[in-house]
Amino acid sequence: MSHQENNSNIFPLLLIGALSMFFAEVSSGASVLWFIDTWGIFVTFPLYWGHTLFFFNIALRCRKLDFTSLYLLGVLFGLYESWITKVIWAGYFGQSPGWGTIAGFAIAELLVIVFFWHPIMSFIVPIFVFEILSLSANSEVPVKDKILLEHVAFFVKSRRNWLIALLITLIGAVFLSVNAGFNLIAAELTVLGSVAIIFVFYFLSKRKLSSRLSIYSLQLGKKGFTTVIIYLILLYAIMFPLLLPERISSLITILLTIVFYIVIILLFYIHKPASGNTHSSFETSVDTSVLFTVKDLRRLLILLIVLILVMCILPVISATLMIVLYLGTIFLGIILIITTSLKVIKEILENRNSVSYTHLTLPTN
């Protein structure tokens, strides 16, 4: 069946933007009370909205929707922190690079932001949560028409997936509490206000689309995709010279950044997701009742609110956890980029070997 949706409805598109904003900026504590801040509403929110829609539609058009493909696109997403904010060149705003620089790149910031935070928190997690919300909107609609079956393994309420969900919740509570200056009211209002916005967009999406709400609701038509591209071009063209131009790095670092883009794009291009008749096999082999639901998301939200309360009351513990978790995200970023790169390289080697074997002929008498 065709999964092309009527994209005259803006609400699912706004929903994915709000989710990206929540996990990227709220969970990091970078945009406290962003919804009452002009910069947050008119610059930060559209930035995440535009990048998420652009890269996810690239994945849809290329039919590369597995975790590896989304991760590589998420790395490209994260590289906006060079041209726009210049963070991976000059460090966080008002700070020097935490671990110094190599070839003009801020080491710690690059490892955290480009290899972990934006691929996972800004891109993949919002997409996964959107799918859970879509699945919960109408349980009578076949799963294959609501979510991407490449992601089903991440939605099963296994011990591994619960641990990942709890870790993401803990990271959000700690980072937001610390970066909000342990201001309990500001931190809690940031979460509650952001969730209220998400709920409104979700409610309106269900009301307008009903059973047609699915991950394919994010599929843009030609005009929509062109609009997003034009917006991103203008965003980069304006922000690069105007936002903190003193943080612009050397020509060599800029060229290396471009090379980095080329390498990641090549890895994405070369990567071939596993194929197979997953739709029919999934429908008959998996009980959809074992998948995450809105109820589970609500439980995690309550836990987040409670943890923020604890972290703001106990700042010493929060600060210690912040250091541990920050180092942990650096480690995870290294692991993710290395394992992803090795996986694609392995695919290249296996493909080359299979091509070589096809040219072998058996000797004849």
Q: What is the pLDDT of residues 159-185, one digit of tens each?
A: 999 999 999 999 999 999 999 999 999
pLDDT at 269 exceeding the cut of 70: yes
Which range scores top for mean pLDDT: 96-105, 262-271, 280-289?
262-271
Residue 61 CA to residue 51 CA, distance in Å, equals: 15
Q: What pLDDT is stored for residue 274 in this prediction?
A: 78
Q: Which amino acid is at 34?
A: W
106 - beta bridge partners? 101
pLDDT at 5 exceeding the cut of 50: no
Q: What pLDDT is stored for residue 280 in this prediction?
A: 46
Q: What pLDDT is stored for residue 275 in this prediction?
A: 67
Q: What pLDDT is stored for residue 23 in this prediction?
A: 98
Lowest-confidence pick of 10-14, 210-214, 345-349: 210-214
Q: How confident is the model at residue 351 (pLDDT cuts 50, 70, 90)?
A: confident
- Which pLDDT tens digit goes with each residue over 231-246? 999 999 999 999 999 9
Residue 66 CA to residue 153 CA, distance in Å, equals: 11
Rg (CA), the chain: 21
Q: What pLDDT is stored for residue 278 in this prediction?
A: 47
DSSP letters, 250-290, are -HHHHHHHHHHHHHHHHHHHH-----S-HHHHHHHH--GGG
Q: What pLDDT is stored for residue 7 in this prediction?
A: 47
Across 318-327, average pLDDT: 97
- Placement of tokens 């803990």 in the chain: 170
Q: What pLDDT is stored for residue 352 in this prediction?
A: 72
Return the ∠ at Cα 249 (arms to 245 and 253), rounded to 5°: 150
Average pLDDT of the residues of the chain: 91
pLDDT at 139 exceeding the cut of 70: no
Burial of 276 (0-12, 13-18, 19+ CB in 10 A): exposed
Q: For 314-317, which contacts have Cβ atoms below 8 Å and span 24 or more sequence positions? A: 315/177, 315/178, 315/182
In sign, the C-alpha dihedral spanning 78, 16, 22, 165 is negative
Structure tokens, 314 = 């106990």
Backbone torsions φ then ψ of 102, nearest 5 degrees: -135, 120
- Which pLDDT tens digit goes with each residue over 43-58? 999 999 999 999 999 9
C-alpha to C-alpha distances, 308 to 166, 181, 190, 280, 326, nearest whole angstrom: 14, 12, 11, 43, 17
7 - beta bridge partners? none
pLDDT at 190 exceeding the cut of 60: yes
Structure tokens, 329 = 């995200």
Which are the contacts of 44, defined by CB distance < 8 A and separation ≥ 6? 21, 25, 31, 34
Q: How confident is the model at residue 284 (pLDDT cuts 50, 70, 90)?
A: very low
pLDDT at 363 exceeding the cut of 80: no
Residue 207 CA to residue 16 CA, distance in Å, equals: 16
Residue 16 CA to residue 229 CA, distance in Å, equals: 17
Q: How confident is the model at residue 349 (pLDDT cuts 50, 70, 90)?
A: confident
Backbone torsions φ then ψ of 84, nearest 5 degrees: -95, -60
Q: What pLDDT is stored for residue 93 in this prediction?
A: 87
Q: What is the DSSP letter of 35?
A: G
- Which pLDDT tens digit goes with each residue over 55-103? 999 999 999 999 999 999 999 999 999 999 999 999 998 888 889 999 9
Half-sphere exposure of 291 (CA within 13 A, CB side): 24
- Which pLDDT tens digit goes with each residue over 197-212? 999 999 999 998 877 8
Q: What pLDDT is stored for residue 4 in this prediction?
A: 47
Structure tokens, 81 = 């922190």
**Length in residues, the chain:** 365
Which are the contacts of 283, defined by CB distance < 8 A and separation ≥ 6? 142, 143, 144
Across 93-121, average pLDDT: 94
Of the two residues 98 and 260, the one the predictor is more confident about is 260
Q: What pLDDT is stored for residue 334 in this prediction?
A: 97
126 - beta bridge partners? none
Structure tokens, 6 = 């009527």
Residue 324 CA to residue 317 CA, distance in Å, equals: 11
Of the two residues 259 and 351, the one the predictor is more confident about is 259
Q: What pLDDT is stored for residue 282 in this prediction?
A: 52
End-to-end CA distance of the chain: 52
Q: Which amino acid is at 288?
A: T
C-alpha to C-alpha distances, 17 to 253, 280, 289, nearest whole angstrom: 31, 31, 28
Q: How confident is the model at residue 279 (pLDDT cuts 50, 70, 90)?
A: very low
